[in-house]
C-alpha cells in the first residue's frame, strides 16, 4: 500500500510538471517555426543583386530564414506606409560594422498620440504589444502586407535591443523608445519637442 501511494505521488508530480502555461511572448521565442520559420542556416540558390554588374545574379548563398523574416517584417511596415501616405518617397536601410540594422521610411509617421484607456502611446502599442494593428478592419479595402498583429513585434521579440523613433513634423514632436532582451523589458518612452525648420516625418526601427 505504501509503495502504491509513492507511485501515485510520483505520477501525480510528473503530470503537474508536464503541463505548463506560456505567455504569448514566451511561446513565440520557444516555437519560432510557427511564427518566423526555421532559425537554422540553409544553403540554396537565390537571385541577388550584384554591384559589379548592376543586375540580379543567381548565386548559391547561406542564410537563416527566420532572420530574413523578421527583417522583412520591418520592410513590410515601411512599404505599407506608402499605401497610407502617397507622399512617402523612400526607405533607407543601413547596417553598421557591428551588424546593427536600421530601417527608416519618410512619410506620415506612427501617430504620437497617448491612448488614455490603455495608458500607452500608440507607437508603444504597435511596436511593443502583440496582436495590435491598424489593419484589422476587414471591411476596409487595402493593399498591405501585415494584418495579423505580429509584424514588427516579432523583430522586437527576437532582438537583444530594439528601438523605434517617430518624428511628427505637424505636432513638432519626436518619440523614441527602446526594448531589451527579447521585448521582456523597456525604457519609458521619450517625447521631445522639435522646432528646427525643414523637418519631415519619419519612422525608424533599429
The per-residue pLDDT for 12 is 57
Q: Is the pLDDT assigned to residue 139 strictly greater than 70? A: no
Confidence of residue 10 (pLDDT cuts 50, 70, 90): low
More confident residue, 11 or 183: 183
Beta strands 161-168 and 185-186 are: unpaired
Sign of the alpha-carbon dihedral angle for 59, 60, 62, 63: positive
Give the C-alpha separation, 15 to 99, whole Å: 44
Beta-bridge partners for 42: 63
Tens digits of residue pLDDT in 86-133 = 889 999 999 998 889 999 999 899 999 999 999 999 999 999 998 775
Query: Averaging pLDDT over each range in 8-17, 83-92, 130-139, which range is the top one?
Result: 83-92
Q: What domains can be seen in the chain, in order of their start residue?
A: 65-205 (3.30.565.10)
**C-beta separation of 155 from 99 below 8 A:** no
Residue 157: enclosing H or E segment and its boundaries? helix 152-157
The per-residue pLDDT for 198 is 73
Scanning the structure block, which residue is given the C-alpha cell 527602446? 178
**C-beta separation of 143 from 131 below 8 A:** no
Classify residue 155 as exposed, middle or buried by CB count within 10 Å of its CB (0-12, 13-18, 19+).
buried
More confident residue, 148 or 85: 85
**C-beta separation of 107 from 166 below 8 A:** no
> Residue 107 corresponds to which cell in the numbers above?
512619410
Return the closest-CA partner of residue 74 out of 141, 136, 158, 137. 158
Q: For the chain, how are helix, strand and coil distributed in percent, rounded to 5?
A: 30, 30, 40
Cα-Cα end-to-end distance for the chain: 63
Ranges 49-63, 88-102, 133-147, 158-172: which has the least confidence: 133-147
Q: Is the pLDDT assigned to residue 21 strictly greater than 80? A: no
**C-beta separation of 195 from 172 below 8 A:** yes
Q: Is the pLDDT assigned to residue 138 strictly greater than 90? A: no
What's the full length of the chain, in residues?
206
Confidence of residue 7 (pLDDT cuts 50, 70, 90): low
Amino acid at each position: 500500500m505504501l509503495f502504491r501511494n509513492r507511485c501515485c505521488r510520483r505520477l501525480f508530480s510528473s503530470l503537474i510538471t508536464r503541463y505548463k502555461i506560456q505567455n504569448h511572448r514566451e511561446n513565440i521565442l520557444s516555437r519560432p517555426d510557427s511564427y518566423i520559420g526555421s532559425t537554422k542556416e540553409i544553403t540554396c540558390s537565390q537571385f541577388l543583386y550584384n554591384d559589379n554588374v548592376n543586375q540580379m545574379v543567381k548565386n548559391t548563398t547561406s542564410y537563416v530564414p527566420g532572420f530574413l523574416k523578421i527583417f522583412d517584417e520591418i520592410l513590410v511596415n515601411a512599404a505599407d506606409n506608402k499605401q497610407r501616405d502617397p507622399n512617402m518617397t523612400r526607405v533607407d536601410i543601413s547596417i553598421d560594422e557591428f551588424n546593427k540594422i536600421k530601417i527608416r521610411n519618410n512619410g506620415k509617421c506612427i501617430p504620437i498620440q497617448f491612448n488614455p484607456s490603455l495608458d500607452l502611446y500608440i507607437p508603444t502599442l504597435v511596436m511593443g504589444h502583440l496582436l495590435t494593428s491598424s489593419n484589422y478592419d476587414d471591411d476596409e479595402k487595402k493593399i498591405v502586407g501585415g494584418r495579423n498583429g505580429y509584424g514588427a513585434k516579432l523583430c522586437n521579440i527576437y532582438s537583444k535591443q530594439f528601438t523605434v523613433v517617430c518624428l511628427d513634423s505637424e505636432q513638432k514632436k519626436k518619440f523614441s523608445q527602446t526594448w531589451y532582451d527579447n521585448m521582456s523589458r523597456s525604457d519609458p518612452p521619450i517625447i521631445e519637442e522639435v522646432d528646427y525648420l525643414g523637418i519631415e516625418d519619419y519612422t525608424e526601427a533599429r
